[in-house]
């Protein structure tokens, strides 16, 4: 496998099946140019050839995907379907339930868990004619920034296999960059879609909190979690998001309206004001190459008609600390259901009920998950609740107010996605704090609930992709696609 240069043009040339986007696949299936079965077979063959090296998938549903493809082909032949994702193969992060297959969360705790229902997002994909190809690797329970916390396997970055793909949705980002699927789903609690998208050189989007139902997503930090799309171009990401968004009686935090996304983004930004927060560009630890590429990206936004202005988000420096109190508090509560009784691994021959709970959890969870549960229980404990958890909630409110003030002035905010490009395996595993800091630019969007996108804007000297992050006010998700299209509307290209 020979890794290609990022942005190596794909426009105008005859594309191979694995290079096609979701919109193109659907068009070709509708036009009768391809059978769904042919597309699925070609992608399965590519996965079989390369995924031993990349490790994007935890489970590949070869049989299920083929059967589904044939079912869709039969419906097409009878003129019974023309769904928005007709024949489009999708990979799903393995913390999102797909009925009857494994959903492991990359944890020993759930290594044989088969959910009895599919997540709402999966139901919506299927209703529009998508084919679920398989489930992708992640940091255990989505806790991490490199996918190295997976208890099951390692995932390599398709643009440089010596580097991590980012995380926690590293498997989904890698699957899209490698050309295993045109689109994939991830979840983002503090950056887990945007950061791996940036490291792997694909588009990744975290919608406004509530835009997408969390029904069937294994909860990490419920007030922060959102499911969103990965794709190799902006239109595909918008299409998938539109399909999965909308209200849900099973999730009381889901918004009542479906997102209205325009579907076509010509890349003109006249009249749009984009804020560059001083605090995001002066950060210690921001690589100069990343900064340069991001600023070059904003320059292209300006050339497309946007006005760039300097803004301030003074409280942003508290975001990482605030996040690690709130996210761990919520995680400690959410993960209490994995006790060997309600859900999950149960130890052999317990001596009594306490032994059963504690040994099941000791054996089932990895080190990072245990660290989060302990931190979370600490900040929620009677003696420290006011000093930590309650205070963090107040700071969270203030951070959201900072954004509201900014969005009174500007339409979008631009920043780096992460301080560096993809790092080498093992580089940060010994230092959890260094790992936590790779989310410094993404976390505040989850605290405020606002939408954010990561879109490739360049590469560093080693050819590793750099992502540009754009943030918008609540439910202005469409603006993110509109502006990103300037940077990635012709498709970014597969890694090899």
Q: Which is nearer to ligand GLN, 327 or 406 (CB)?
A: 327
The H or E element spanning position 278 is helix 278-281
Query: What is the residue-wise DSSP string for 355-420?
Result: HHHHHHHHHHS-HHHHHHHHHHHHHHSTTTIIIIIIHHHHHHHHHHHHHHHHHHH-SEEEEESSSS
Q: Is 308 helix (H, G, I), strand (E, B) or coil?
A: strand
Per-residue binding letters, 420-439, with ligand GLN (x by CB under 6 A): -------------------x
93 assigned to active site: yes
Four-residue CA torsion sign, 68, 73, 74, 80: positive
| 334 is a contact residue toward ligand GLN (CB under 6 A) | no
Q: Which is nearer to ligand GLN, 361 or 372 (CB)?
A: 372
- Minimum distance between the CB of residue 144 and ligand GLN, rounded to whole angstroms? 5
Q: Residue 56 in contact with residue 122, Cβ under 8 Å?
A: no
Spatial separation of the C-alpha atoms in residues 469 and 485, rounded to whole Å: 13
In this chain, which of 192, 208, 233, 332 binds ligand GLN, going by CB under 6 A?
Answer: 192
- Minimum distance between the CB of residue 429 and ligand GLN, rounded to whole angstroms? 13
Spatial separation of the C-alpha atoms in residues 226 and 210, rounded to whole Å: 8
- Minimum distance between the CB of residue 394 and ligand GLN, rounded to whole angstroms? 21
108 assigned to active site: no
In this chain, which of 179, 190, 216, 491 binds ligand GLN, going by CB under 6 A?
Answer: 190
Q: Which stretch binds ligand GLN (CB under 6 A): 22-30, 77-85, 189-197, 314-322?
A: 189-197
- Minimum distance between the CB of residue 217 and ligand GLN, rounded to whole angstroms? 11
Per-residue binding letters, 360-399, with ligand GLN (x by CB under 6 A): ----------------------------------------
| 411 is a contact residue toward ligand GLN (CB under 6 A) | no
| 327 is a contact residue toward ligand GLN (CB under 6 A) | yes
What DSSP character marks residue 179?
T
- Minimum distance between the CB of residue 224 and ligand GLN, rounded to whole angstroms? 8
Buried b (16+ CB within 10 A) or exposed e, 422-456: bbebebbbeeeeebbbbbbbbbbbbbbbbbbbbbb
Q: How far is CA 390 from CA 37, 222, 330, 332, in A?
A: 54, 17, 13, 16
Q: Which stretch binds ligand GLN (CB under 6 A): 50-58, 103-111, 138-146, 416-424?
A: 138-146
- Catalytic annotation, pick one of 118, 145, 168, 415: 168
| 453 is a contact residue toward ligand GLN (CB under 6 A) | no
Q: Is 321 helix (H, G, I), strand (E, B) or coil?
A: helix
In this chain, which of 59, 137, 145, 484 binds ligand GLN, going by CB under 6 A?
Answer: 145
Nearest to 221 by CA among 334, 140, 389: 334
Four-residue CA torsion sign, 132, 138, 142, 144: negative
360 assigned to active site: no
- Minimum distance between the CB of residue 433 and ligand GLN, rounded to whole angstroms? 12
Spatial separation of the C-alpha atoms in residues 103 and 343, rounded to whole Å: 12
Per-residue binding letters, 1-30, with ligand GLN (x by CB under 6 A): ------------------------------
- Catalytic annotation, pick one of 84, 93, 135, 482: 93
Give the footprint of ligand GLN on residues 208-247 (CB under 6 A): 220
Q: What angle do CA 70, 76, 78 make, to 5 degrees?
A: 110
In this chain, which of 142, 164, 219, 274 binds ligand GLN, going by CB under 6 A?
Answer: 142
Beta pairing class for 412-416 and 273-277 = parallel
Beta pairing class for 131-136 and 89-93 = parallel
SS3 content of the chain, % helix, strand, coil (to 5): 40, 15, 45
Q: Residue 330 in contact with residue 393, Cβ under 8 Å?
A: no
Give the footprint of ligand GLN on residues 157-176 (CB under 6 A): 168
SS (H, E, C) 59-116: EECHHHHHHHHHHHHHHHHCCCCCCCCCCCEEEEECCECCCCCCCCCCCHHHCCCCCC
- Minimum distance between the CB of residue 145 and ligand GLN, rounded to whole angstroms? 4
| 186 is a contact residue toward ligand GLN (CB under 6 A) | no
| 449 is a contact residue toward ligand GLN (CB under 6 A) | no
- Catalytic annotation, pick one of 146, 169, 192, 444: 192
| 329 is a contact residue toward ligand GLN (CB under 6 A) | no
Per-residue binding letters, 285-324, with ligand GLN (x by CB under 6 A): ----------------------------------------
- Minimum distance between the CB of residue 344 and ligand GLN, rounded to whole angstroms? 19
Q: Give the interface with ligand GLN as residue ranges (CB under 6 A).
A: 142-145, 168, 188-192, 220, 327, 439
Active site residues: 93, 168, 192
């Amino acid at each position: 496998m020979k890794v290609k240069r990022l942005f190596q043009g794909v426009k105008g040339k005859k594309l191979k099946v694995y290079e096609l986007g979701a919109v193109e696949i659907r068009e070709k299936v509708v036009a009768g140019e391809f059978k769904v079965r042919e597309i699925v077979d070609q992608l399965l063959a590519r996965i079989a050839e390369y995924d031993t090296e990349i490790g994007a998938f935890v489970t590949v549903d070869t049989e299920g995907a083929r059967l589904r493809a044939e079912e869709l082909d039969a419906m097409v032949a009878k003129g019974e379907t023309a769904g928005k994702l007709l024949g489009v193969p999708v990979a799903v992060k393995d913390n999102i339930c797909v009925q009857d297959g494994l959903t492991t969360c990359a944890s020993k705790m759930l290594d044989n868990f088969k959910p009895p229902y599919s997540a709402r997002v999966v139901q919506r994909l299927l209703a529009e004619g998508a084919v679920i190809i398989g489930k992708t690797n992640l940091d255990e329970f989505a806790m991490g920034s490199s996918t190295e916390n997976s208890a099951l396997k390692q995932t390599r970055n398709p643009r440089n296999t010596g580097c991590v793909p980012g995380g926690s949705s590293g498997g989904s980002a890698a699957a899209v960059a490698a050309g295993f699927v045109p689109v994939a789903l991830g979840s983002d609690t503090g950056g887990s879609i945007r950061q791996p998208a940036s490291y792997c050189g694909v588009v990744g989007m975290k919608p406004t909190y509530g835009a997408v139902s969390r029904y069937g997503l294994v909860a990490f930090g419920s007030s922060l979690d959102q499911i969103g799309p990965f794709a190799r171009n902006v239109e595909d990401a918008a299409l998938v998001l539109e399909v999965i968004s909308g209200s849900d009686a099973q999730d009381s935090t889901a918004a009542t309206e479906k997102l209205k996304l325009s579907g076509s983004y010509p890349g003109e930004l006249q009249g749009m004001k984009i804020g560059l927060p001083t605090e995001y560009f002066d950060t210690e630890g921001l690589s100069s190459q990343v900064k340069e590429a991001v600023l070059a990206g904003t320059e292209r936004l300006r050339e497309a008609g946007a006005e760039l202005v300097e803004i301030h988000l003074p409280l942003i420096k508290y975001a990482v600390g605030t996040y690690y109190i709130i996210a761990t508090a919520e995680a400690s509560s959410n993960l209490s259901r994995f006790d060997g009784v309600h859900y999950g691994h149960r130890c052999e021959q317990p001596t009594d009920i306490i032994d059963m709970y504690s040994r099941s959890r000791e054996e089932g969870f990895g080190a990072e998950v245990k660290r989060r549960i302990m931190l979370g229980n600490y900040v929620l404990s009677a003696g420290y609740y006011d000093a930590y958890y309650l205070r963090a909630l107040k700071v969270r409110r203030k951070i959201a107010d900072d954004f509201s003030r900014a969005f009174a002035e500007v339409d979008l905010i631009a920043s780096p996605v992460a301080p560096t490009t993809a790092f080498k395996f093992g580089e940060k595993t010994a230092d959890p704090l260094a790992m936590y800091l790779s989310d410094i630019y993404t976390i505040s969007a989850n605290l405020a609930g606002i939408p954010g996108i990561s879109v490739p804007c360049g590469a560093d000297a080693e050819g590793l992709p750099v992502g540009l992050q754009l943030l918008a006010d609540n439910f202005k998700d469409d603006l993110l696609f509109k502006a990103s299209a300037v940077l990635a509307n012709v498709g970014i290209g597969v890694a090899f």
